[in-house]
């Protein structure tokens, strides 16, 4: 069986990338294979994680490309020349255009650190998401894996996991708990689910 070819797009620390690498090693991801890591920031520690795992990694910097369109064209070229079938956004801090998301319809997924449709969309990234949840006073938050379309955090939901908010939580403690109890679990699970579907759809065609 030829595994689904996965690319993971990153910008930062890459703990979700690490969860995917570990899940492939442990067999939680068995239908897909991480073939490529792409960062839009040369200082992303995720690049080191890729290197340590022996996964080819590339860096494409928007500023150097000159425009969003040129940046996305280089990205498409890289992904297509590697035969990538599933794109996982794991802390990728760049909004992608309709042209890009349309090119990979239902083939791009993202992890967001809240229960969508709460605390999502423009401006809700990183610690801001957890600050907003604490400020609102919700007692339960979590993480969501969803398909990516032209609307930020607006694509169909694939998987969610709830996490309790504790009375003494700060944005930092909440961020850590959401990662440990939700993100690092559902992102690999959703990646396996989609990889298995890609293999099945190959068999049909
Ligand atoms: C995570 O909280 C993820 O939900 C969000 O960006 C963060 C990335 O963290 N989209 P890391 O780079 O995977 O450690």
pLDDT single digits (tens) 114-129? 999 999 999 999 999 9
pTM: 0.97
Just list the catalytic residues.
112
The count of other CB atoms within 10 Å of the CB of residue 44 is 24
Q: Per the omega criterion (within 30 degrees of 0), is the bond before 117 cis?
A: yes
Report whether pLDDT(173) > 80: yes
- Which residues are CB-contacts of 42 (< 8 A; sequence separation ≥ 6)? 59, 61
Distance 155 CA to ligand 1 centre (A): 18
Residue-wise pLDDT for 15-48, tens only, equals 999 999 999 999 999 999 999 999 999 999 999 9
Nearest CA to ligand 1 atom 14: 15
C-alpha to C-alpha distance for 146 and 143, rounded to whole angstroms:
10
Residue nearest to atom 6 of ligand 1 (CA): 91
Report the SS3 class of residue 5: strand
Please indicate whether residue 142, judged by its CB atom, sits closer than 6 Å to ligand 1: no
Which atom belonging to ligand 1 lies closest to the Cα atom of 18? 13
């Amino acid at each position: 069986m030829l595994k689904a070819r996965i690319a993971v797009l990153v910008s930062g620390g890459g703990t979700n990338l690490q969860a995917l690498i570990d899940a492939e090693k442990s067999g939680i991801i068995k239908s897909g294979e991480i073939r490529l890591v792409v960062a839009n920031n040369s200082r992303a520690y995720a690049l080191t994680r890729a290197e340590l795992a022996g996964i080819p990694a590339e860096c494409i910097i928007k500023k150097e490309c000159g425009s969003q369109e040129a940046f996305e064209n280089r990205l498409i070229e890289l992904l297509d020349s590697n035969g990538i079938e599933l794109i996982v956004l794991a802390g990728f801090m760049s909004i992608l255009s309709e042209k890009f998301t349309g090119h990979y319809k239902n083939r791009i997924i993202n992890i967001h650190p809240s229960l969508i449709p709460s605390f999502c969309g423009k401006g809700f990234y990183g610690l801001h998401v957890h600050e907003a949840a604490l400020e609102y006073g919700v007692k339960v938050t979590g993480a969501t894996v969803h398909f990516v379309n032209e609307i930020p955090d607006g694509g169909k939901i694939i998987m969610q996991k709830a996490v309790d908010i504790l009375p003494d939580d700060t944005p930092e403690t909440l961020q850590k708990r959401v990662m440990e109890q939700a993100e690092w679990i559902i992102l690999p699970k959703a990646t396996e689910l989609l990889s298995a579907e890609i293999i099945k759809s190959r068999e049909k065609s």
